[in-house]
Amino acid sequence: MDADALREEALRWEKRYNGRSGRTARQFIDYLEARLGDASQSWETASKYDEGA
């Protein structure tokens, strides 16, 4: 994820979820980890199917 996109997403998150705080920041990071983890798992799963075909 590029830095500008990350910043914009963080600012949207801040507005949606109670402003800036350590707790909000932690929740944003947890959200990103889950989102990016899901994306990488989807890619890994797809590449496993490609290898078996």
d(CA 21, CA 38): 26
In terms of Cβ atoms closer than 10 Å to its own Cβ (0-12, 13-18, 19+), residue 9 is middle
Q: Are 14 and 20 in contact (CB under 8 A)?
A: yes
Q: How many CB atoms lie within 10 A of CB 21?
A: 11
Q: Which pLDDT score is estimated for 6?
A: 92
Q: Which pLDDT score is estimated for 53?
A: 47
E strands in the chain? none
- The predicted-structure confidence for 1-53, as pLDDT tens digits, reads as follows 799 999 999 999 999 998 899 999 999 999 999 988 877 665 454 445 555 54
